[in-house]
Amino acid sequence: MYQASDSRYQSMTYRRCGNSGLKLPEMSLGLWHNFGHVNMLENSRNLLTTAFDNGITHFDLANNYGPPPGSAEENFGKILWDDFRSYRDELVISSKAGYHMWEGPYGEWGSKKYLVSSLDQSLKRMKLDYVDIFYHHRPDPETPLEETMTALDLIVRQGKALYVGISNYDAEGAKKAIDILRKLGTPCLIHQPKYSMFERWVEDGLLDVLGDEGVGCIPFSPLAQGLLTDKYLHGIPADSRVATSGVFLNREHITPGRLEKIRQLNGLAQQRGQKLAHMALSWILKDPRITSVLIGASKPEQITDSLRSLANTHFTEEEIGQIDKILA
């Protein structure tokens, strides 16, 4: 039986999530990749225990994570039951629904039918009575926003989630969703957007909305699927995501211009005494409106390496100016 490290809370900083009473670790573990049935269960277990031993208390899932869809939640449920049962109240577990999960008109998007059914399925897969956070995973252009937000409110009132959030909403959509949830009496806890040095759309109003409304923010893909590391400085490695799958990152993304930006950013990171990946994570966390940053990992040592970025999240005005110039 797994025994968590006695020192797990000594080095992690926890930030308050918006205006809520919930605190999240500055770094959270996402189970988007490396937890499906195609992966080794023992490695998935080692990733989770390494994270928790280092103070990462937040594990982020979604109904369709795998592959195949649903298998990440199934495997997480097995590991939770075998190793983390006694630590359940120390964990923040989140899931989401919005993307395609099953066939027919009720298997994706944002209807009340889909969201309630999906969470019921997720709870069974994870062997849980409730999740701590449940997100609507993406805006639905055809379902009234009031219906989607009413479904989130219902889920909290049913006791199936403690908090609710949204993901991939733009500033205008997020403001409307936040307002509806507030009127219903179930505040929006957090927003999960895609955000990195190479993808900065959240700075065009969304972060301002979240800050003004007291809603937390937990970015995903902070390393741009590996581009913001030293992995591609000298070509495309044979074991890289580009070479092996090309689904979320392919050779077209690695242009000469982008490679030059990566090299310049890497040089600045070295001046700061950091690796490029560490600087990319630190750069996101420099903003006080950010609650936590989601990382992924395929090896336990990648988690412990990423944690080193938390040692220096301060940037001088000159460094911020240099980064903006490089990325312009």
In the DSSP assignment, the letter for residue 150 is: H
Query: Residue 26 forms beta bridges with which residues?
Result: none
Q: Which two tokens stand for residue 262?
A: 């990566």
pLDDT digits (tens, 9 = 90+) for 72-103: 999 999 999 999 999 999 999 999 999 999 99
Which two tokens mark 89? Answer: 């109240």
Domain count, the chain: 1
Query: pLDDT over 70 for what percent of the chain?
Result: 95
Q: Which residue segment(s) compose the domain that 69 sits in? A: 14-232+284-313
d(CA 231, CA 72): 26
Residue 246, domain member (yes or no) = no
Largest CA distance in the chain: 54
Q: Kindly state whether residue 213 falls inside one of the protein's structural domains.
A: yes
57 in a structural domain:
yes
Orientation angle between helical segments 112-126 and 71-79, nearest 10 degrees: 40
Report in angstroms the alpha-carbon separations of 70 from 41, 54, 61, 101, 241: 14, 27, 10, 8, 22
User: In the predicted model, is pLDDT for residue 242 greater than 90?
Assistant: no
Give domain status of residue 259, yes or no: no
Q: How many helices (H) and strands (E) does the chain have?
A: 11, 10
Cα 152 versus chain centre, distance? 19
Question: Domain for residue 326, yes or no?
Answer: no
pTM of this structure: 0.95
- Is the Cβ–Cβ distance between 62 and 70 less than 8 Å? no
Work out whether strand 14-16 and strand 23-25 pair parallel, antiparallel, or are unpaired. Answer: antiparallel
Q: Decide if pLDDT at 248 tops 80.
A: no
- Evaluated on CA atoms 280, 131, 61, 139, the torsion sign reads negative
Residue at 165 is within a domain: yes
What is the rounded CA–CA span in Å between residue 103 and residue 274? 46
Q: What is the pLDDT of residues 1-56, one digit of tens each?
A: 899 999 999 999 999 999 999 999 999 999 999 999 999 999 999 999 999 999 99
Helix (H) or strand (E) holding 180: helix 171-184
Confirm whether 36 is domain-assigned. Answer: yes
pLDDT per residue as tens digits for the range 158-210: 999 999 999 999 999 999 999 999 999 999 999 999 999 999 999 999 999 99
Residue 318 included in any domain: no
